[in-house]
A and B are shown apart, each in its own frame.
Chain A
Amino acid sequence: MKRLIELLGLLLILGQFALAQRIGHHAQFPLRCDECHYCKKPTYNEPCLKICPDFIREGITVHHSVEDAPTLLIIDTLQSKYAPSVFTHRLHAQMGEMLGGCESCHHHNPPGKVRPCIECHKPKRDLNDLSRPSLKGAYHQLCINCHRSWDSDWSKTSDCYFCHPKAGESLSQTPEQLAELAKKRHPAPKTPELFVLKSDYEEAPLVTFRHKEHVFTFGLQCKSCHQDNACADCHRSPTKEKSVSLEHDNCLPCHQTAIDENCEHCHDNKEKPAFDHAKTGWPLKPFHKKLTCQTCHKDQVEFQPLNTDCNTCHKTNWQPGTFNHSMTGVKLDENHAEIDCETCHLNRKFNKKPDCSECHESKSFPKDVPGKLINR
């Protein structure tokens, strides 16, 4: 009995510790209290929590494609001076893809799927949380970032009527017009082939940036680089000369531009040729050329040579019946088709030259072929 009481006592003390630690932990968040609470002294009964605290960085976790986005939104919650506005949501989502992605508008989204604006931004301003705009303010603050560039060729005006049809009770668009709007798509952006930039690094001033290669070969998304761009950056009036300037920072996420010895990686005296994987000692043909870099170089920022042993990536236990050897460009003849892989590929090292010595005394690959070479 005494032991039981001692045990219970010990548990109680430990529990207190655990509790104390939890509270301590919460208060020691690397956050200021007012990022979550709108009052100065929150209590358990009145925690005065903000609806969507600003510190949420995780954002949208359940992604969907642009095509699944709502096509049109009719904004009439705040309708007073003007008729309801029609917001071509999918068109804008598509534009967003070229810039910051869905997050460029759906910022501070709680983890999960995309939430509509009104969930955090209420129609009436919350005087307890002055830092959060009301719905009207939130709409305008988002829209004006692009729409205020009034002299660009796609948005000639920034006056109210560009978005708000003049006063009227009901929607000013006919169903046909709405259907037309719903179909609207932003034309696919041009993907420039390359830029040869001149830097002030005198020893090797030229930097060749192969834009298309970064998109199609390296598989970067628009938002990986263009998240800070605005519509107007491309939609300048055509008379204005377009110039591209890149800072080291733009390349930093992938290239270690900060390291001094790496200069010649990008800087040269002439235009650099496109990247050729063969020069790394691993020609991508014929097996891997359709893959993006990240498929193999997983989670790598500065790409490192990978182990060339096929088993490193391919966990499949290839057997004569399950592997189509023709893929390699060599169609095995009948004699060889039945043989175990290990007979020729010693220790299943498929990246090494096959060994014929097990059966043939004076034959070797590639002089002798165990079947016939085919064009894949």
Chain B
Amino acid sequence: MSQSRRNFLKAMGAASLTAVGAKNAKATPKNVLSDDRFGVLVDTTVCIGCRQCEYACKVEHDLPAGNIDDYSDRSVFEHMRRPDHTALTVVNGYPSEKDKQQQVTVKVQCMHCDHPACVSACIVGAISKQENGAVIWDESRCIGCRYCMVACPFQIPAFEYHKAIEPKIMKCDLCYETRTSKGQPPACVEACPTEALIFGKRYELIQIAHERIRKNPDRYYDHVFGEHEVGGTSWLYLGSQDFSKLGFPDLGTKPAPGATEPIQHAIFKFFVPPVALYALLGGIMWLGKQNREEEE
């Protein structure tokens, strides 16, 4: 009996050691929210749907861009399009409530959330929130599980299903490598002829957005989409009508990872529940063993 009991205690020690070791091995992804982080303000009342941003984005990311003249084709607005592996941003058209003859055109791309669900979800930490606001994907880590696509409340990440080897998660990276890490505006912002896209510090953009609403209450719907949605996003939108009529999902103001991180941390962070469960089961087992031995 004493032999097995000593073994048992030894094993218990080993169990708690593994637990501690596992805890240290895991790197928590950084989510540094700098006060000066960048953002882009999209004023959909100024957007004319010229789709120069789509062209510029493709050129910047070495995607087949085609002829620039084809981008003035407005028939694409007849159907909703979504970003995919061929286009990291697309412009969609929605009927305008104010002027029946016109369309409101809305650029769609990764919103670069302040508390991104994709970053929280990614199993290997391949997606990260950068200090300057960008949410970027790291090819060298990704295992292609597509959990980020499940998690994203805006349904943005796209996957290269047609590739057998090295398929990529494709999404707007705010031109992190080539531009915004050096403080330059993303390619789409630079291409926008009407300056419907403004690149700058996020807090300043929020001020400007509210200022525009204050000055032109008739022109704008009194809401800055992205200021509080899912805990705030780097991309902010102004619109002339309710954002649900501009193709935006109705999301709360709670960060998108929601309850998963608290639940996860309750189970995982200090390893108390698993170890306690282990100890409890071990105790039951030991008592049972003693009972049996007494019977014998």
Contact = CB atoms under 8 A, between A and B. Distances in A.
Interface of A: 34, 54, 125, 127, 130-131, 133-134, 136-137, 140-141, 144, 148-152, 158-160, 232, 236
Given A127-B200, A160-B72, A140 B193 contact: yes
B198 interface: yes
Given A34-B207, A130-B205, A144 B194 contact: yes
Given A134-B195, A141-B194, A141-B195, 12 more contacts: A54-B215, A130-B208, A137-B193, A140-B193, A140-B195, A144-B46, A144-B48, A148-B48, A149-B101, A149-B102, A151-B101, A158-B48
19 contacts: A130-B204, A130-B205, A130-B208, A131-B212, A134-B195, A136-B193, A137-B195, A140-B48, A140-B195, A141-B194, A141-B195, A144-B194, A148-B48, A148-B102, A149-B102, A150-B74, A159-B50, A160-B50, A232-B101
Contacts of B207: 34
Nearest to A159: B72
A151 B198 CA distance: 28
Contact of B194 (A125, A131, A140): A140
A136 B190 CA distance: 11
Q: Which of B101, B207, B215 has the most CB of A within 10 A?
A: B101
Interface string B45-56: 010101000000
A346 B211 CA distance: 65
Contacts of B195: 125, 133-134, 136-137, 140-141
A144 B192 CA distance: 13
Interface residues of B, number: 20
Interface in B171-204: 192-195, 198, 200, 204
Contact of A131 (B50, B72, B74, B208): B208
B194 A137 contact: yes
B231 to A, nearest CB: 23
Interface string B208-225: 100110010000000000
Contacts of B46: 141, 144
A61 B194 CA distance: 29
Nearest to B192: A137
The 4 closest A-B pairs by CB, nearest first: A137-B195, A140-B194, A159-B72, A130-B200
Contacts of B50: 159-160
A81 to B, nearest CB: 9
B102 to A, nearest CB: 7
A127 B74 CA distance: 32
B205 to A, nearest CB: 7
A136 B193 CA distance: 7
B35 to A, nearest CB: 13
A158 B103 CA distance: 13
Contacts of A141: 46, 194-195
A309 B204 CA distance: 62
Contacts of A137: 192-195
A34 B207 CA distance: 10
A229 to B, nearest CB: 13
A54 B214 CA distance: 13
A360 B277 CA distance: 130
A34 B72 CA distance: 38
Contacts of A160: 50, 72, 193
Nearest to B50: A160
A265 to B, nearest CB: 28
Nearest to A164: B193
Q: Which of A131, A149, A152, A232 has the most CB of B within 10 A?
A: A131
A158 B198 CA distance: 22
Between A134, A140, A236, the greatest number of chain B beta carbons within 10 A of the residue's beta carbon is seen for A140
Given A140-B195, A141-B195, A144-B194, A131 B101 contact: no
A149 B98 CA distance: 13
Contacts of B215: 54
Nearest to A142: B194
Contacts of A236: 101
A250 B90 CA distance: 41
B17 to A, nearest CB: 54
Q: Which of B48, B74, B211 has the most CB of A within 10 A?
A: B48
Contacts of B204: 130
Contacts of A148: 48, 102
A326 B195 CA distance: 67
A128 B258 CA distance: 36
A257 to B, nearest CB: 20
B242 to A, nearest CB: 21
Contacts of B193: 136-137, 140, 160
Contacts of B72: 159-160
A137 B195 CA distance: 5
Contacts of A151: 101
Contacts of A34: 207
Which of A130, A144, A150, A152 gathers most chain B CB within 10 Å?
Answer: A130
Nearest to B204: A130
A144 B105 CA distance: 13
